């Protein structure tokens, strides 16, 4: 949108006419004031051809109008969405163990891998977190940061869409994944710090135990919401089975840190869990868009300079 910083400057446009009027009145009364004809279109001029005089008048008026336009300060208003400087810091900790390749979830009428379902629902969740500073950690044999904390939720969502199984092994280091998220949040500027931890297995790698890390989360004041994904869990079997999720430990992590625990057996369960987290941790309302201005005054100022130069050159040539 076009606007002017000082639109009152346009009141100067008729100034040459006023000068001409008073100059003519003064000449009729016998005064000695002379006004350059190139500005007002009359007065004592050097003898020139009619076309040369007309051209100088045009250039003079172009210079004057352009100068006034530059003084008015033309601008283009560019709306810019203000980003929050404080708010919630949210870190996702995602299990990338080999069991996430299992195809026992459905989506869009087809059987899908667990990871594919998490990617789709998780990236949609991230995109809704406008106003939060969001990061992403992934873990298997060890943990790594897939996306540094950022207000650019689209970039984090794309990072989530790109995670793959096998980059850091195929085991399940829940304690390492949660610990890495907590380290990234330890010095975070937000007043509210949250981890969303999703796993479909039991901790079987890494030096850190999940319950010890959960106590650290409580000390740091970080809420950890946990999601236990998979059709079966350790409370439903006897003995050891590497293909079941340790729901009991994940619930203990959530309880210790003041978070919520979600048991997910289907795609619908996962969507419901994510929707609940959206309600528990509502996004902040962004500040109204701020305005930035692109200054355009150099263009009419440059035109005024060129037109004035043309007027002066024409005056010397035909004088």
> Domain residues of the chain, as ranges?
2-78+291-318, 88-280
Question: Would you write out the chain's pLDDT as a tens digit for each of its 319 residues?
Answer: 778 889 998 998 988 888 878 777 666 665 555 545 544 444 444 455 556 566 788 888 898 999 999 999 999 887 665 655 447 899 999 999 999 999 999 999 999 999 999 999 999 999 999 889 999 999 999 999 999 999 999 999 999 999 999 989 999 999 999 999 999 999 887 789 999 999 999 999 999 999 999 999 999 999 999 999 998 876 666 555 666 899 999 999 999 999 999 999 999 999 999 999 999 998 765 555 666 778 888 998 999 899 888 888 866 655 5
For residue 204, CA distances in Å to 59, 91, 172, 199 come to 84, 22, 5, 12
Closest residue by Cα to residue 267 from 229, 305, 219:
229
Joined tokens for residue 32: 């000695």
- Give the model's pLDDT for residue 28: 64
The residue among 147, 179, 171 whose CA lies nearest residue 257 is 179
SS3 238: coil
Three-state SS for 34? coil
- C-alpha 284/C-alpha 190 separation (Å) is 12
For residue 307, what are its two tokens?
Answer: 């037109």
Number of H helices, E strands in the chain: 10, 11
CATH architecture, domain defined by 88-280: 3-Layer(aba) Sandwich (3.40)
Cβ atoms of 122 and 94 within 8 Å: the answer is yes
Rounded to 5 degrees, what angle do the CA atoms 44, 49, 53 make?
55
pTM over 0.75: no
How, if at all, do strands 74-80 and 290-295 pair? antiparallel
Residues in the chain: 319
For the residues of 261-306, what is the DSSP string, one character each? EEEE-SHHHHHHHHHHHHHHSPPPPPPPPEEEEEE-THHHHHHHHH
Q: How far apart are CA 113 and CA 96, in angstroms?
A: 12
Q: Is 23 strand, coil or helix?
A: helix
Whole-angstrom distance, CA of residue 263 vs CA of residue 222:
21
293 in Cβ contact with 76 (< 8 Å): yes
CB 254 within 8 A of CB 93: no
CA–CA distance, 256 with 36 (Å, rounded to integer):
88
Question: Nearest CA to 127 among 304, 237, 307, 274?
Answer: 274
**Quick one: how far is CA 70 from the chain centroid?**
33
214 Cβ neighbours under 8 A, 6+ residues apart: 178, 224, 252, 253, 256, 257
């Amino acid at each position: 949108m076009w606007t002017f910083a000082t639109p009152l400057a346009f009141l100067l446009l008729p100034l040459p006419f006023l000068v001409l009027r008073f100059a003519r009145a003064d000449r009729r009364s016998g005064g000695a004031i002379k006004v350059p004809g190139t500005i007002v279109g009359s007065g004592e001029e050097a003898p020139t051809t009619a076309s040369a005089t007309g051209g100088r008048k045009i250039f003079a008026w172009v210079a004057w109008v352009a100068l006034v336009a530059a003084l008015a300060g033309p601008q283009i208003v560019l709306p810019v969405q203000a980003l929050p400087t404080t708010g919630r810091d949210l870190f996702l900790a995602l299990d990338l163990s080999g069991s996430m390749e299992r195809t026992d979830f459905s989506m869009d009428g087809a059987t899908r891998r667990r990871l594919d379902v998490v990617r789709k629902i998780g990236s949609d969740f991230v995109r809704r977190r406008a106003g939060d500073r969001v990061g992403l950690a992934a873990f298997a044999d060890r943990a790594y940061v897939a996306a540094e904390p950022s207000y650019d939720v689209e970039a984090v969502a794309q990072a989530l869409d790109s995670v793959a199984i096998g980059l850091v092994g195929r085991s399940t280091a829940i304690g390492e994944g949660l610990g890495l998220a907590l380290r990234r949040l330890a010095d975070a500027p937000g007043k509210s710090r949250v981890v969303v931890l999703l796993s479909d297995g039991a901790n079987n790698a890494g030096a850190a135990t999940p319950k010890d890390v959960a106590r650290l989360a409580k000390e740091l004041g970080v809420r950890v919401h946990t999601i236990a994904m998979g059709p079966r869990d350790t409370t439903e079997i006897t003995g050891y089975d590497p293909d079941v999720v340790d729901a009991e430990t994940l619930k203990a992590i959530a309880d210790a840190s003041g978070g919520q625990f979600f048991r997910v057996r289907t795609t619908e369960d996962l969507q419901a869990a994510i929707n609940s987290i959206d309600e528990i941790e509502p996004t902040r309302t962004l500040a109204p868009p701020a305005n930035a201005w692109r200054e355009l005054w150099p263009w009419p100022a440059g035109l005024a300079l060129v037109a004035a130069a043309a007027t002066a050159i024409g005056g010397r040539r035909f004088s």
